A and B are shown apart, each in its own frame.
Chain A
Amino acid sequence: MKALLVLEDGKKFIGKSFGSHGEMVGEVVFNTSMMGYQEIITDPSYCEQIVTMTYPQIGNYGVNKKDTESGKIQVSGLIVKEYLDFYSNYRATESLDSYLKKSGIVGLFDIDTRELTRHIRIKGAMKGIISTENFDIDYLISKVEEYPGLTGRDLTKDVSCKKAYIYNKNIKNHKYFVVAVDYGIKTSILKCMSDAGLKVKVVPPHTSAEEILMENPDGIFLSNGPGDPSAVDYAIPEIKKLLNKKPIFGICLGHQLLAIALGAKTFKLKFGHHGGNHPVKNLSTGKIEITAQNHGFNVEMKSLQNIKNIDLEITHMNLNDNTVEGINYKDLNAFSVQYHPEAKPGPDDSKYLFDDFLSLMKNFKLSNKNK
């Protein structure tokens, strides 16, 4: 069945539809991971984005119960080169097509995804619409124009929990207790923390600093999430209040919010980093990690250099474009990374960061005892 993608600059791609039918607007981005489509489409950070997989064959291993990052599909649409309605994997329970259908998500295939990717690379990520019913270009463009896009938008409330909960109630002999602020947290981050021996209480994004500190956690985690960090202004004063009270670890949006709280600025990348092969250099060890990335905004290097009152250290750099990937606020017992140590999908090279979080909590506890 025919389906159409129209971009805000008027470029259109005609293909076929899979998954659900209808119209979907969103920001069109591309992801270069060659596998892990199920994790990608269920990652809350992709909220309101239409994801183009650059790898041309998607759906090969179906969908299973375990490889989900949030329990539901988060992307607004999925674009692939070839969708073959057949899967083969011992863990698979259904096809990607039926998975999309159940969530009412539209898929588009049989377009020149490489052309689309090059277009986005050259022109930048842009708004677009997938339609399977109405093919009137003027109408579709007007719909795209109506769509506000991601810049300046706070999307955290749409993808985060409404009520606090304990992720791993049954964990035995946990080492520390952590409160994780959910701006759209990926399940695998929770799993990584749990595997590292942390008991995790997940709280909604609007939870106040006081409420968090009332839990008396050993550490606080600021999660990933969708949209423009500069729009998540409600979080900034709360984070400021948490500083220096407890050890803090932030990933992705959490990393950006932490930086903003300390006076840094963020900017929108031309087409973002979405993939599983970005080299990140750990500046303290000199070692390279191959990392999973998913962000459209980034902390501005210059704005960090302008922060004079805090002892901060840029700990990680992206070797492809020299953007900031990690910051350590030593005096504040806080650190954060832009990329995804939990991977999913992507390499596990950076899992040590969860251990670093543990060490930080341990040292914090020790030094407090000594005081």
Chain B
Amino acid sequence: MPKRKDLKKIMIIGSGPIIIGQASEFDYSGTQACKILKEEGYNVVLVNSNPATIMTDPEFSDKTYIEPLIPEFVEKIIKIESPDAILPTMGGQTGLNIAVSLDNMGVLKKYGVELIGASVDAINKAEDRELFKKVMEKIDLYVPPSGYVNNLTDALKIAGKLKYPLVVRPSFTLGGLGGGVAFNKEEFVDTVTRGLDLSPVNQVLIEKSVAGWKEFELEVMRDKNDNVVIVCSIENFDPMGVHTGDSITVAPAQTLTNYEYQIMRNAGLKIIREIGVETGGSNIQFAINPENGKLAVIEMNPRVSRSSALASKATGFPIAKIATKLAIGYTLDEIPNDITKKTPACFEPSIDYVVVKFPRWSFEKFPNTDASLTTRMKSVGESMAIGRTFKEALQKSIRSLEIDRYGLGCDGRDSIIEENISQMLAIPNQDRLFYIKHSIENGDTIENIFDYTKIDPWFLENIKQLVDFEKTFKEKTIKNISEDEIREAKKLGYSDIQLAYLLRCSEEDIRYFRKKTGIKAVFKTVDTCAAEFEAYTPYYYSTYEDENEIADSIKKKIVILGSGPNRIGQGIEFDYCCVHASFALRNEGFETIMINCNPETVSTDYDTSDRLYFEPLTFEDVMNVIEDEKPFGVIVQFGGQTPLKLAKKLLDAGVNILGTSPDNIDIAEDRKRFGSILDCLKIPQPENGTALAVSEAKLIAEKIGYPLLVRPSYVLGGRAMVIVYNEENLINYVENAFKVSPGFPVLIDKFLEQATEVDVDAIFDGEEIFIGGIMEHIEEAGIHSGDSACVIPPFALSPGTIDIIKDYTFKIAKALNVIGLINIQYAVKNSVVYVLEANPRASRTVPFVSKSIKVPLAKVASLVMSGKKLKDIDFKRVDSNKLDYFSIKEAVLPFSRFPGTDTILGPEMKSTGEVMGIDKNFGVAFAKSQLAVNQKFPQSGTVFFSVKDRDKNDIASLARKISNLGFNIITTKGTGDFLERMGIKCDRVLKIREGRPNVLDLLKNGEIDLIINTPEGSEARSDGYYLRTAASVLNIPCITTISGASAAIQGIYELKINSNINVKAIQDY
């Protein structure tokens, strides 16, 4: 049956900002959906608040609304656009929740909008756990016994019936947010309370734990003719008890017989039919008791998911694309398989390799939080690797993570604490795999490790094989090792770096040995069919075998290095740039080759580039591709730090690095060299110094004066930056830094207090500059630019200052011989413009600027890097300073995932993603950006003020403004006395240490609606700390900077007087 002709206009709901549990996989699915619907001739309306997505590029939809993803705003869009249908299954949990709300609000009925892909009924059956349980029982499938409660009393009653451990799952939250396993009553009360709070419907499911059972997933698709296929099976390395997002997972299932698998497959078919997903894909999770094969159904997501993105990349079967086609009426047999061209999509992929997904965590960013892995997802990204065996894929997946490990240990970087071993095995954590290997090395048995971990012995045996293999290298050196032994090692997935460690030589020695003996990687095709049919899609992975499948090509090739797994500080923004580079260069006639290892992205869609290599981004793995493909050049500027780190080594290996030279990139990173350039150009930068000893640091501090911004030198990776206000703090910091990394200097900068920070993204071609955007930060300097809100055009900078910034930008770009993108951060204080840093590469703000000015910066830059001049490129020279609307970028912070971590913002980045608010009115644009990050500003109620002394002068006007809006003000004594002196009425409340009831009690009782708290230095465990962490758990807005508070109050003002905020597609600005 052909596609539906009764639908003309279809709306797609995106998933919003990147958060833990909902990342760029939904850009991948949404982009595919937009592409398909457009290709099929539908009018496409997209709503998504995240500007850093490919799908929000104006050319992917007819109308793109970058607006908050809340039902009220989506309704406004529906009112304007009157779409015939909404496709809600591409935008993760957010998309589904909005669809359900729109239905509940009667909006769908009112405007005659149909849901396609999944009906409300199906969504409810899958998402409402009580309903789901009933449906499963109806079709004779086992669900662990459970009960569904709305309050703690009922929860405790159920707990009395079932035995601990119990799993708590809040309804309608994503990524298991608020859920967890409780082993005792105390934990249970905690988890239930939090779960009830976080569930939008105040419901949690209490479930008998099946922790320790084997965990599996199936990706299932169904069309309107009731044809059902299983696209992929996934087995979790970590058994039940760890969120699948935090589990190492393997595709296909490894330890199931056909008998067990078909039971599961049949269950999958029954479930999707009974839930009633008629046209689309679903992810179903199962558990199997390893002792008797008993199958339990855990949950179902009636939409595309993180796992479906993984399954798509793992098999070459594009689930989101096919799901979209099914939603508009096609049946599976009508859709061709892109890869084989000759066979239909109605089949079940067979793969002839093993895929391993490895999560990437960022616990180092969130001290004081519980770092164990539970049913609540905590990872921020993932890598995927393909190998011909589990061992090879596992090792590749680990070196894809960029955690400075180049495989499963065997690199001298283990940090095992002997007395913790049993605990580290028993309680899932991010280092568990390394502890398992260590235990095997120490002679522990598979049986024993299984008892601790419940990880299937087959997986453990594979690790043991690696250990056994490494033992055979014990007595060997590079001098007496044989060719066969090295070949065997490469087959097992060992990197040159690991072999260098084993054989006590350098990576170069191993490389030389391999070249001499002809041991090199070959590339195999991902073809959905295990080579049964010819594949036409060039999607490859490396392995060490005999046949290389890469076909020669005569086109001029450009390799684009991707950004690897998402992490805090390097996320979707860089993937966005890589994808744009590929699009632009393909269009220009180059053959583009993408190398990346992140399954969640658009860049790893086999449609994005001419060739896709799913490979780790290490020197060795990248060189394997380069040596085979012999490209004209390589782009390292777009993938963030990951490819940049490789630039110099690639250059030394004779690779042509396109754009700004690695040496110039290095100049910008090296403060001495960069400093002298700025001196030459007479451009000021904050006074600074480099200290190698505590005494030196003290001297520098005396010279420049406090406060200071201090950080370890870039050798350590630029983490752990702090602001110190006095000598005691400085000495503490510096002493600790030298203890951790002796011999490495500490960088000390004058911290410009209350300066305005400005970000600039520009393109330089050697002669001409195009300034894409000058962004004024809303928070003052000192907050990491990734965590602070910023606005285009600047709202407070004088024209003179803007001219100076433009002038400096040109001079620096020229001095650094930039070819391509450059990002410069400035601080403006008392009309003096200081340069904080310059990065001659794509920055995090490139997508935001591109959306704001509607010029695809990364595309233009990639053309410049390929040798074109700006004057020869056709694009609109928009002056961002003259725009008649405001675009505001706001960061999204993951603190609710990490209870116990202070939510105060500082120089170290903590946000996972961003949103954009856009409007003609600054206040409205800001309000939209806040609504989009789910920061619901109160319209009335009580505001709590507690600010540090330095900020007191600034709060009077704010307090007056909010008081005039009808809010009550409550403060601590100091702030209150000050405000009263200024004639502002306020109530008092005790600080936590002053007794009870104190401010924390009020907060917990729901008597405070907004907190404005600017912290004093970084004293841990202060009142502010307790307040902020409690606010984060209770989801009460808490603003920690004066300028942020000022913008927020302006936003509240606009929301109050201007209750009817308008929405507008970016195409219409």
Contacts and interface: CB of A to CB of B under 8 A. Distances in A.
Interface of A: 30, 32-36, 38-39, 54-57, 60-61, 64, 66-67, 81-82, 84, 86-91, 111-115, 117-118, 121, 275-279, 281, 286-288, 290, 319-321, 343-348
B458 A279 contact: no
Given A114-B547, A121-B531, A84 B465 contact: yes
A115 B547 contact: yes
Nearest to B259: A67
Q: Tell me whether chain A's interface is mostly helix, strand or loop, or mixed.
A: loop
B457 interface: yes
Given A34-B252, A57-B354, A290 B347 contact: yes
B546 A55 contact: no
Given A61-B256, A88-B458, A277 B348 contact: yes
Contacts of A57: 254, 354, 389-390
B257 A88 contact: no
28 contacts: A32-B532, A33-B350, A34-B350, A35-B253, A35-B256, A35-B257, A35-B258, A56-B354, A56-B388, A81-B389, A88-B457, A89-B257, A90-B291, A113-B352, A114-B530, A114-B531, A117-B531, A117-B532, A118-B531, A118-B549, A121-B533, A276-B348, A277-B348, A279-B333, A279-B347, A287-B227, A290-B230, A321-B342
B392 to A, nearest CB: 9
B343 A320 contact: yes
A278 B347 contact: yes
Most A CB within 10 A of own CB, among B225, B342, B465, B532: B532
B867 interface: no
B346 A319 contact: yes
Given A33-B350, A61-B257, A81-B388, A117 B530 contact: yes
Interface in B331-349: 332-333, 342-344, 346-349
B547 A112 contact: yes
B229 A290 contact: yes
Contact of B456 (A35, A55, A88, A277): A88
Interface in B349-374: 349-354
B342 to A, nearest CB: 7
Given A81-B352, A82-B388, A112-B545, 7 more contacts: A36-B258, A55-B350, A55-B352, A60-B458, A117-B530, A117-B532, A348-B265
Given A55-B530, A117-B531, A89 B348 contact: no
Contacts of A91: 257, 259, 293
Interface string B523-542: 01000011111100000000
Contacts of A319: 333, 343-344, 346-347
Contacts of B255: 60-61, 88-89
Nearest to A40: B258
Contacts of A279: 333, 343-344, 346-347
A36 B532 contact: no
The 5 closest A-B pairs by CB, nearest first: A36-B258, A345-B258, A115-B547, A54-B530, A88-B458
Contacts of B354: 56-57
B350 A32 contact: yes
A149 B459 CA distance: 40
A56 B261 contact: no
B420 interface: no
A64 B257 contact: yes
B262 interface: yes
B257 A114 contact: no
Contacts of A30: 530-532
A96 B546 CA distance: 26
Contacts of A345: 258, 262
A56 B258 contact: no
Contacts of B265: 347-348
B533 A344 contact: no
B72 interface: no
A113 B262 CA distance: 25
A281 B333 CA distance: 9
A21 to B, nearest CB: 22
A114 B389 contact: no
B445 interface: no
Given A88-B255, A89-B255, A287 B346 contact: no
Interface in B370-404: 388-390
B333 A114 contact: no
Contacts of A35: 252-253, 256-258, 261
Nearest to B348: A277
A343 B389 CA distance: 27
A288 B269 CA distance: 13
Given A287-B226, A288-B333, A121 B532 contact: yes
A288 B388 contact: no
Given A114-B547, A319-B333, A66 B532 contact: no
A288 B227 contact: yes
Contacts of A118: 531, 547, 549
B188 to A, nearest CB: 31
A84 B461 contact: yes
Given A55-B530, A81-B389, A348 B266 contact: yes
Nearest to B535: A118
B352 A117 contact: yes
B106 interface: no
A347 B292 contact: no
Given A56-B353, A319-B344, A347-B265, A112 B456 contact: no
Interface in B598-620: none
Contacts of B333: 279, 281, 288, 319
Given A112-B546, A115-B547, A286 B290 contact: no
Contacts of A32: 350, 352, 529-530, 532
Interface in B219-246: 225-227, 229-230
Contacts of B458: 60-61, 84, 86-88
A277 B292 contact: no
A31 B638 CA distance: 43
Interface string B249-292: 00011111111011001100000000000000000000000111
A173 B351 CA distance: 44
Contacts of A348: 262, 265-266
A202 to B, nearest CB: 23
B462 interface: yes
Nearest to A56: B388
B530 A82 contact: no
Nearest to B253: A35
Nearest to B353: A56
Given A56-B389, A287-B227, A288-B227, A275 B350 contact: yes
A121 to B, nearest CB: 6
Nearest to B462: A84
A316 B652 CA distance: 61
A287 B531 contact: no
